[in-house]
Chain A
Amino acid sequence: MAATTVDWIRNWEEIYDGRLKVMQRDYSIDDWSERAEDYSERRKTNQYEFGENVYAALAGHGIVGETFRVIEVGSGPGTFVIPFSKHAEHMTAVEPAEGMIRVIRENAREAGIDNFDIINRIWQDVSIPEIQGKYDLVITSTVIWMFRDIMAQISRMEEVTRGHCCVVEGIDSTDALGKKIWHTIMGEIPYPPYPGYPIVFNLLYQNGRIPQVRIVEAKSRRSTEKLMKMYNVFYSLYTELTPEVEEKIHSALLADSADGLHEGTYRSAVVWWDPKERREMV
């Protein structure tokens, strides 16, 4: 197939629809509340190393700094809220899951941070006119795969910033262990792809944006017990969570953990662009 014939929006939608076809049900907001503890543990590894590295990559290019107001779409446990609040003027977290909000507040208390607020909604329900152009940076990480109408949501992000937009996505974020567990439980059914990087780069580029990329690396350390919970939530969406399934997850995790901890180093792509700057499209 010739490169120019790829319709990246269509490609995105196909991946989105393909995932739903394999699932018994889609994620609900309660699933994310359930995930709050394990996700928080992951993002807090090495004093929020992931968030700090993303901040440093952006700050190095003047995309964020101490006078900046930043909004994060889908904050989870405070992935960027906590590390960014330490450096920037103010953070707004858009987060619908009560469990995640509780963890953001706990993590903020622990870090001594109070220069943030929370919009308790899904991003699609946030009223853009109320916050239009009020931020210097809009950032989101591993959230946009939940948006089937991807360019519509990206355009909404662009409307709230007078500066830059940033999307952070894992590179090949399903590690060998994740794939191994999938095949043990799901057999021949292919692992469901989640649209992320580099598709998002292609999408932005094809739609006239001028994206820049930095690859960052960060460690993730989770207790086997919390990781078990993550896998339980995940597989409850794809199959019946029987004691046999739980046992398969448990034994695979034990084999891959040391002293009750599971550790890995992950790479992510930090993709940012200035919505005011466009390529001339032929």
Chain B
Amino acid sequence: MSMTESVDWKEAWKESVDESSRVSTSSYWNSRACDYAKMVDTSDCDHGRRILNLFLEEGIIRNDWNVLDIASGPGALTLPFAERVRNVMAIEPAHQMASCLMENARRQGLINIGVIPKTWQEVKVSDYEKQFDMVTCCHALWQFPDLLEQVRRMETVSRGYCCLAHGVDVSERELKKSVGAPIEGRDQFITLFNYLNDEGIYPNVNILPYSLMWPVDAAIASKERFVEKYRPLTDKDRAIIREYIACHTTDGIYKIPGRMGVLWWKVG
């Protein structure tokens, strides 16, 4: 008998991500590619680097590894991992994001990165069965209302580890409130944690601090695109966003400190 059976975690997860998975299309991410890439660059891939460091400390990363990074964006995780392993394959359907990733790779002289320009759901997993030593999906799980199915597909292509990372707590709550954007009513991280446990996946858990750092212009653009996911932008929104960012900016850098929950396990 499950000790948490009073909650249907599968349903709770689905409800929690339904709206964000609906509005966050590839075309939205194409419009966000430029500002997001600037953030990753300014942050020096902070969240990806922290995940890499976790596994380096655990002593499990090997330089002959092949890694699959689902929803790589401009490479926050792909780039630091590519510095340490043989090959990183990025799954990234938004072509602007993929271009930013390859441009970043070129700039850093990394020639061991490939891109599959599809959503993870479109990838035929039988073509990649047990091909990767680690499969990662970082800050992108909101696109999977059918999470378990997608996680099982990740396990199919992994011969080593699976690693999921998701933000803990809601960031920029005041700003979201001011512009009337939906604030996730549920803590998605704990929902994710309980959902996996209920399904018999017992991951290791690390809750790590990290920082997203944006140049001011990129920060403003990202918040404007965010509001436009839900409705047209007004002058009032523009003013609220600029004021909020100005209040949280030091030396031209808008910095959001946060925590992410990293859930990882060895595939049986």
Query: Which A residues lie at the B interface, using CB under 8 A?
Result: 1-4, 6, 11, 15, 60-61, 171, 190-191, 193, 195-196, 198-199, 201-202, 205-206, 210-215, 267, 269, 279-280, 282
CB-based nearest B residue for A271: B205
Q: Does B140 contact A (CB under 8 A)?
A: no
Beyond the given pairs A3-B187, A6-B6, A211-B207, 9 more chain A to chain B contacts, judged by CB atoms under 8 angstroms and listed by A's residue number, are A3-B7, A3-B194, A6-B4, A15-B3, A205-B190, A212-B206, A213-B204, A213-B205, A215-B204
- Cα separation A215 to B264 with both chains bound (whole Å): 10
Q: Does B185 contact A (CB under 8 A)?
A: yes
Interchain residue pairs with CB less than 8 A apart (22)? A2-B12, A3-B9, A3-B190, A6-B4, A6-B6, A6-B7, A11-B6, A15-B3, A60-B58, A61-B57, A171-B202, A190-B1, A198-B4, A198-B197, A198-B202, A199-B3, A202-B194, A210-B207, A212-B205, A213-B204, A215-B204, A215-B265
A residues near B265, Cβ cutoff 8 Å: 215
CB pair B259 A193 closer than 8 Å: no
CB-based nearest A residue for B196: A198
User: B8, B187, B194, B207: which has the most chain A beta carbons within 10 Å?
Assistant: B207
CB pair B202 A280 closer than 8 Å: no
- Cα separation A201 to B193 with both chains bound (whole Å): 10
CB-based nearest B residue for A15: B3
B residues near A171, Cβ cutoff 8 Å: 202
- Cα separation A215 to B206 with both chains bound (whole Å): 12
- Cα separation A177 to B58 with both chains bound (whole Å): 35
- Cα separation A63 to B209 with both chains bound (whole Å): 18
B residues near A269, Cβ cutoff 8 Å: 202
B residues near A214, Cβ cutoff 8 Å: 204
Q: Does B148 contact A (CB under 8 A)?
A: no
CB pair A267 B169 closer than 8 Å: no
- Cα separation A282 to B58 with both chains bound (whole Å): 32
A residues near B194, Cβ cutoff 8 Å: 3, 198, 202
CB pair B186 A3 closer than 8 Å: yes
CB pair A3 B205 closer than 8 Å: no
CB pair B190 A202 closer than 8 Å: yes
CB pair B7 A1 closer than 8 Å: yes
User: A3, A199, A267, A280: which has the most chain B beta carbons within 10 Å?
Assistant: A3
A residues near B187, Cβ cutoff 8 Å: 3-4
- Cα separation A191 to B229 with both chains bound (whole Å): 49
CB-based nearest A residue for B9: A3
Main secondary structure of the interface of B (DSSP, over half): mixed
B residues near A201, Cβ cutoff 8 Å: 193, 205
CB-based nearest B residue for A192: B1
Question: Known: A198-B193, A201-B205, A267-B202. Contact between A4 and B1, CB under 8 A?
Answer: no
A residues near B4, Cβ cutoff 8 Å: 6, 11, 198-199, 202
CB pair B12 A3 closer than 8 Å: yes
Q: Does B100 contact A (CB under 8 A)?
A: no
B residues near A282, Cβ cutoff 8 Å: 169-170, 173
- Per-residue A-contact encoding for B1-19, CB less than 8 Å = 1, 0 else: 1011011110010011000
A35 to chain B, nearest CB (A): 23
Cβ-neighbour of B3 out of A195, A267, A279 (below 8 A): A195
Cβ-neighbour of A2 out of B57, B185, B197, B203 (below 8 A): B185
User: B3, B15, B169, B197: which has the most chain A beta carbons within 10 Å?
Assistant: B3
CB pair A191 B1 closer than 8 Å: yes
CB-based nearest A residue for B15: A2
A residues near B6, Cβ cutoff 8 Å: 1, 6, 11
CB pair B1 A193 closer than 8 Å: yes
B residues near A205, Cβ cutoff 8 Å: 190
A residues near B52, Cβ cutoff 8 Å: none
B154 to chain A, nearest CB (A): 18
CB-based nearest B residue for A210: B207
CB-based nearest A residue for B192: A3
CB pair B193 A4 closer than 8 Å: no
A179 to chain B, nearest CB (A): 9
CB-based nearest A residue for B59: A60
CB pair B3 A215 closer than 8 Å: no
CB pair A3 B191 closer than 8 Å: yes
- Cα separation A193 to B185 with both chains bound (whole Å): 30
Q: Does B168 contact A (CB under 8 A)?
A: yes
Cβ-neighbour of A196 out of B3, B15, B57, B168 (below 8 A): B3
B residues near A61, Cβ cutoff 8 Å: 57
- Cα separation A267 to B203 with both chains bound (whole Å): 12
- Cα separation A11 to B194 with both chains bound (whole Å): 14
B56 to chain A, nearest CB (A): 12
CB-based nearest B residue for A281: B169
A56 to chain B, nearest CB (A): 11
- Cα separation A205 to B202 with both chains bound (whole Å): 17
B:1-47 near A, CB below 8 Å:
1, 3-4, 6-9, 12, 15-16
CB pair B190 A279 closer than 8 Å: no
